[in-house]
């Protein structure tokens, strides 16, 4: 099988859910968008975000379908011995069933309690009570997850601080004025400029979550000056951050599949 197709499937699984669905990481992603609008003095409702991201998120589905067609032919790879000892994973039906139950429990509890913490706790309890995995192994996995969340938190705090500095200095107004002068009344040119800025910022940071505060501080005043609707602004900010994240060499979405699929050299 062509590993590029596997990379596309992994990337789709990593990015599509949080871009569209307000659960888990998606809930965090949508909350950051909402807070970005609030800081830009343009408050929005939380339920508006997933609706605005419906059309952009469909691009992931179209891209996956194209990839399945384009990379459908088998490909031969020169394999070398992996550095680490391979561990065989026995995927039993019971493991799949428990995983599905944990996912459903997480979604349902979060939906009815409106709390991501309780939703995550429900999913964790399903794994602990089921006894599918040893408690020690689960503990190690949770610690690794906490480390990842800590890293994301630090990056987001840094990005929020940078956005706050830009707002405080008043340079955003100058930038918006300059961009408006360049684009004139051409809405298409304005959107292209916004996407390019978003891609450059996200490619450098490597995180769509951390990019949103910066993009919101830039895009919302510019979009308002161009007469864009709120839904269009939500879609632009969410899409620009997600697109950059999907293609950034410093992103988990690219580093993970690359490292995993290239483990044998």
Domain that holds residue 117: 93-131
- Contact 237/216 with Cβ under 8 angstroms? yes
Asked if 230 and 161 sit in the same domain, the reply is: yes
Residue 261 belongs to a domain:
no
258 occurs within a structural domain: no
- Domain check: are 14 and 124 in the same one? no
Residue 61: its pLDDT value, please? 93
* Closest alpha carbon to 210 in 156, 151, 148, 154: 156
Q: At what angle do helices 135-169 and 25-39 cross, to 10 degrees?
A: 10
Which of 131, 157, 177 terminates a domain? The answer is 131
The per-residue pLDDT for 57 is 92
Report the Cα–Cα distance between both ends of the chain, in Å, rounded. Answer: 16
The answer, yes or no, to whether residue 261 has pLDDT greater than 80, is no
Mean model confidence pLDDT for the chain? 79
Which of 69-73, 78-82, 102-106, 142-146 is predicted with the least confidence, judged by mean pLDDT?
A: 78-82
Secondary structure letter of residue 141 according to DSSP = H
Count up the domains in the chain and report the number: 2
Evaluate whether residue 215 is within a structural domain. Answer: yes
Question: Are 54 and 125 part of one and the same domain?
Answer: no
Give me the pLDDT at residue 52, please: 93
pLDDT of residue 171: 67
Same domain, 69 and 115: no
pLDDT in tens, 41-85: 899 999 999 999 999 999 999 999 999 999 888 877 776 655 555
């Amino acid at each position: 099988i062509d590993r590029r197709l596997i990379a596309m499937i992994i990337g789709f699984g990593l990015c599509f859910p949080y871009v569209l669905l307000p659960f888990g990481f998606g809930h965090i992603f949508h909350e950051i968008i909402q807070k970005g609008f609030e800081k830009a003095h343009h408050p929005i409702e939380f339920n508006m975000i997933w609706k605005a991201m419906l059309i952009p998120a469909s691009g992931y589905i179209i891209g996956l379908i194209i990839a399945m067609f384009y990379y459908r032919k088998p490909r031969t790879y020169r394999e070398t011995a992996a550095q680490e000892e391979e561990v065989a994973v026995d995927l039993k039906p019971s493991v799949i069933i428990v995983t599905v139950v944990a996912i459903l429990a997480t979604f349902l509890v979060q939906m009815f309690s409106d709390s991501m913490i309780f939703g995550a706790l429900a999913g964790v309890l399903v794994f602990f009570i089921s006894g599918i995995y040893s408690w020690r192994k689960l503990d190690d996995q949770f610690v690794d997850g906490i480390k990842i969340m800590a890293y994301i938190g630090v990056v987001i705090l840094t990005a929020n601080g940078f956005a706050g500095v830009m707002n405080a200095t008043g340079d955003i107004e100058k930038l918006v004025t300059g961009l408006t002068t360049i684009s004139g009344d051409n809405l298409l040119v304005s959107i292209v400029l916004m996407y390019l800025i978003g891609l450059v910022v996200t490619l450098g940071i490597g995180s769509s979550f951390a990019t949103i505060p910066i993009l919101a501080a830039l895009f919302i005043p510019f979009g308002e000056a161009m007469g864009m609707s709120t839904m269009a602004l939500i879609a632009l900010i969410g899409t620009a951050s997600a697109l950059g994240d999907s293609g950034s060499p410093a992103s988990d979405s690219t580093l993970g599949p690359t490292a995993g699929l290239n483990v044998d050299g």
